[in-house]
Each structure stands twice: as C-alpha cells, then as structure tokens.
Structure 1
C-alpha cells in the first residue's frame, strides 16, 4: 500500500512538473538584436540561432530580428517597452557593448535597466584595428611615426557606444583622429573605409573574421592591433590573433610609458564592459521560472557540446562562453565602473 501511495505521489509531482515545463515545439523563438544585419552582434546571433534551436526544448525555429529604430539605444528601449513583461521566453534580447556602455555613461536616452534583465548566456569577444593598405602602414609600432603624422578619419556610432574604446585608445596614443559620428553600426564603419571615406576602422572579432580577414588576404587592408583579452585583471594578446600586439602593448612600445594610471584604468574598465563578456542573451526578469530554467539548461547544453563549440569558435573566435552561476558576477562587472574611472570618462566624453 505504501509503495502505491509513493508511486502515486511521484506520478502526481511529475505531472505537475510537466505541466509547468516549457515546450517550444512548433513555435518560433526570436532573438531581438538592436543592430543592423552584417555586424558583429548579428553574426554572433546568427551563429547561435541554429545551435539554440537544437538545445531548446521542442527544438523551435530560432530567428534573428534586426531592430534599428532609434539605433542601439532606441531599439533596446523598444524591446523592454514591448517585451519587458513577457513570461514565455519566446522573444529574447541580445545585448552588447554598445548597449552596455551607454548605460555606464548614464546616457539620458537609456530607458533599459540591467536589473530588469535575466542573463542566460554570455560571450566574450575581441576587436581588430585595421587601415587601408594604401596608407603605406604595415606595422603599427615600426610605422607609428607615419601614423601619428597622418590625419586619420574614424567612423563612429557615437561617443557613448562601444566606439568609446577605440576613440579613447587613439587619444591615448596621440593619434590625430577626426571622429565622424552617425555610422549605423560597425557595418557602416566598415563600408566607409571600403569607400575610402575613412582611413582607420575596427571590427569585433566575428565581423573581422567574416568580412575583413578576406580583404587582408587580398592585400586591401592591413591589421594593426587588437584590443587584447583579459587574463585575470591584465590585458594580454588576443589568443585568436597571437601575431598582433594588444593595445596596452602598443601603448607601452610607442609612448615609452607603463600602461597604468587614470587613463589606462578607465580604458580597461570600458574594455571589460565592452569586450570581456560583451554579448548576452537576456530574458526579461518577468519571465517564468520554467522559461528561465529551459534557457539556462539550453545554454549549458551549448558549452557542453563539442560540435556546437567548434562552430562557435570558428565563427566567433575562441573566447569565454559564460553560463550558469558565473553569469551574475560577469554581468555586474560588465555594467559597473569605479568612481574615479567614471569621473575621468565623463570629463573626457565632454571634450569629444
């Protein structure tokens, strides 16, 4: 009798659990990306979409929706205005450095709050700075005097976007760089240098590998440096581009100074927020416990699947893919800044 009672209770619990489980069978899951197609975030999302389809319960179709109304900030605000109270996890948000940095800079246009987001997956990335081959520059350190004496033009999305990282870096190197604002994503910056309207550009790793590396192979573009990668609290060479110096390395070589002090600390804070764990898949905090659990499990499945990681590493570069308990501290680090660095950056921003 006791065994029958226990069996009945177990069956009841299983039925209740099943009733509250998420099943996306026959549904379409949307990744809301606040950037145009062709950029780093779009490349990241499209690389993950088929892997997520395989990992989520019910194997739904996963599509990428590029929302560009109001640029990165406006499109991010729009997501939370329309989906900020969703429960089902059917429309998820893809954040990136150009969403995180305006939040750090306390941009008045920002309406989204990270405390309203529930992270389920995060990716680190890097960035490569390059110039046109007709610039005559082949090595940023050996040819630095040529670069420094040139009047450079850089196409930017905005001074509180992820472009704060290159703009501050160029300033720290003493490069005479005219910043042209108004680019619609890094794809716009890439198009501008291809047309000869700008002379220096950078792309995040995924976009660089897909769009710029072939041009380097053809002799049309020349890579100069990477932003680097975090090793503890130190910025080292990006493992995906071991032959290219990191920005801190270039800084020390061409200035003769150690990479330390207020500027270096502020730049590293931006780099950490914008690159170390740059891209997150977010559910609204309002999502049901079942939806959160389903997405968390799907994310864990991805990092534990060698075939999935092989695809990610090939398309996006070999960077940390963050899941589980590591997400909360990573997000805190990516969306907060110490007071001294913040004070410096607010004053610096006012000059740009």
Structure 2
C-alpha cells in the first residue's frame, strides 16, 4: 500500500478521509479500516471531541503498525471488557415485527451507547424460536459478543419438556427482564367486537385464528379459548407474531394478539383509525388472582370475561394451567441474556449497562410511550423472576394436564418428564 492511498476513519458516525502512512496494513479489510469512537455525552451532538480524534488515530496506527499483540489491540487500555469498535450481535429468535423484535430495536441504541459498541440486530426465526436459542446456548461462542432477547415462546418449551429443546434455565445469565403483557383484538367489521363474543355460549360463528407453534407464547390465548369452550379453527406455525398479524390483516384470521410493544407500535394506530377493536388484555397475576393489566386498565382480564359469559368465577384445568404458567408468560415475558459461561466481566458490564438504561430519563420516556410504562426488571428482581420460571414444577398436576392437552389437541411432541 502506497503512502498516497486513502483510508476511511469512522469517527462519531462521520467519515473522514485520511492519508495512510503505513506501507503495509493487514488488519481487517485491506482496503478500509473503520474505527468507531463513541461521542462524549458532554459534547454537542455531532461534534467530535479532540480526545476522540487522537484516540481514533492511535487505534488506526495500532491496527496498521507492527507493534503490539492482537490481544492488546482488541482489549484496549481502559480495562473494560467491551471496547470501542466491538461488534455485538443481538439475536431475536423470531421474524421482524413482533413484540420481541420491537423491544430489541427499542433497547439496542441505548445498549450501543452504554457499552460503546456497534449493535447489530439479527432475526433468526425457526422452530417457533427454539432453533435460535439452541444455537445460542450450544453453538455460539460464549465470548460476550452475542446477546439474546428471549420471550415466553422460549421460556415455556423447557417447562413442558418439548422435544427439540436443547437448553435449560441455568444455561443463561439474564441481565434484564420485562414483565410484558398483551392485548387480544379483532377486526372492527367482524362478528367479534365484544370480549364475550369469543366465548362458547356467545360466539356468533367459528373463530379463525393464526399463530405461532402452540407450545410457546401461543399457550396463553389457546388456553383462553379452551377455558371459554370456544369453537376455533387454527393455523399455527408462523415464525413470529408479526407474520401472524399480517395473516390477520389480510383477513385470514378473525382474532389476533400482540404483546405490549408491538401492540402499541402496530395495532393501536389501527384502533385509532377504526379498523381494529381491542377485546381484552392477558391480565396479570396478583397473589392467586388474575386481574387487569395496569398498562391497559380499561380492558377486562380473562377472568372477568369468563365470569361475564358463564355467570361464575373461572375454574377448571385450563384456567389453573393458565395461572401456573403466568410466571413465564407474564412476570418475565421478555429477557436479555448472555450465556451462563460467558466472561464474568461481560455479564457484569451488560447488567450495569441495563441498570444505566433503566435509570435514564430518555429511556423512561420512551418506555412510557412505546412499552406502556412497563417496568424493567434488574439485579435481584430479574434473577428472582428467572429462577421462579426454573422452579415451575413440571410434575405438577397443572403442567401434566397441559402436556397431555398439547399432545392430544395440537399433536405437540414432548419428552417424558422426570425428576
């Protein structure tokens, strides 16, 4: 490479052409060297601190020079695990447009700023979200450079022992969680415009429903249909709620649901325009009671709808199974993780970054607008919520009934449970 060759130095998202004085440079792409310097919070937006420029040129010279080991170049000098210019992949085990994908794209910019790295969101839909999580635990290098955003569709399969699940709760190091609910809705011009319309005694016609595989997040609404003795025709197997919602928008389904982030982003505008009608929320559990979701206080809980339709409080196997799984589907609906064997420094820095994000006024305002004010579980709270899922008794009568029901009703293959 001649001294007259141009190279690109990326500083604070702006490209600055510089003359390279190195005669040989083999680090990364031989034609382009990119170094990202995070903007100081004390500088005006768009400005480049002098210290940042000096650091960037230093990194460029280190990358193209002959001195220094590769470990020194990678780790930097500040002792932090995550370094400026690191590329961190965020894995979403579902297709774009669903609640987990929406949440990941809300959090990712804040995470990139706190860690000082480049964040790349990757959607990896397959097997109802199980395939990507299997890969994350068993094939992805636990080097701290891959972060998983999980959902209840990933949390429930190991509880019921679904065949093909190759991970357990103690394989994860959760850094944060979200107790996210959701809303069930219909077309405004359909036969299902009141909550009681989807219950057996009141439904005007068979319900067409499209969703993901039944052993994940779909369990909530499928158990509700069972509890309501509803007559339904299901098309299951979509790789994400975004795909299922598209089927609903195209008229292939009468009823659909979304978790809070996707509902507020994509369905609430349809409600405002008169195209969709919210029927109920999934509620939340307080003690042994299924009550209204505080994010949607005007929408009835599944228990209220049952009582209005049947004239008595809900009971039965489906209702008990719904409550038993609420810790996985509601108390910690979404999670942010590294692998349990990832470097301790990476786990600590990711947890600290999420703590900082949770304390940020900017994120708080965004969470209020786009997540309905859903609280962020951190520290002991996220550990307790995650451990509570791990402690769900797979031998309990509720879970055993659920396993049998899934096999008989939806032909879901599960492994024989053992102590």
Report the TM-score when normalising by structure 1.
Answer: 0.88
**Measured at CA, do residues 64 and 232 of structure 1 come closer, stay the same or move farther in structure 2, by a change above 3 Å?**
farther
Q: CA 1:144–1:70 in 2, change beyond 3 Å: closer, same or farther?
A: closer
Bigger drift between 105-114 and 305-314 goes to 305-314
Gaps of 5+ in 2: 1-76, 410-419
What is the correspondence of 1:1-352 to structure 2 with a 5 Å cutoff?
A: 21-56=80-115, 59-83=116-140, 85-87=141-143, 89-141=144-196, 147-338=202-393, 339-352=396-409
Contact 1:229 1:237 in 2 (8 A): yes
Give 5+ residue unaligned stretches, structure 1. 1-17
Contact map agreement 1:34 1:66 (CA 8 A) in 2: yes
1:141, distance to aligned residue in structure 2 (A) = 3.7
Distance 1:295 1:173, change over 3 A: same
8 A contact 2:183–2:280 mirrored in 1: yes
Give the superposition deviation at 1:341.
1.2
> How far 1:23 moved relative to its partner?
3.1
My pick for the range that moved more, 68-77 or 93-102, is 68-77
Question: Which structure ranks higher in relative contact order (CA pairs < 8 Å, sequence separation ≥ 6)?
Answer: 1
Runs of 4+ residues deviating >4 angstroms? 142-147
What are the Cα deviations for residues 127-146 of structure 1, in whole angstroms up to 9, with x where unaligned? 11111112144322489678
Decide which moves more: 32-41 or 177-186: 177-186
Task: Give the CA RMSD over aligned residues.
Answer: 1.9
Does structure 2 retain, via aligned residues, the 8 Å contact 1:72–1:99? yes
Classify the secondary structure of the residue corresponding to 1:148: coil
1:327 & 1:46 partners in 2: Cα distance? 20
Worse overlay, 298-307 or 333-342:
333-342
Question: Which protein has the bigger helix share?
Answer: 1
For residue 12 of structure 1, what is the aligned residue in structure 2? none
Q: Distance in 2 between matches of 1:166 and 1:104?
A: 18
CA distance in 1, matches of 2:315, 2:200: 23
Secondary structure, counterpart of 1:134 in structure 2: coil
Q: Separation in 2 of the partners of 1:120 and 1:325? A: 10
| Structure-2 change in CA distance of 1:318 and 1:72 (3 Å) | same
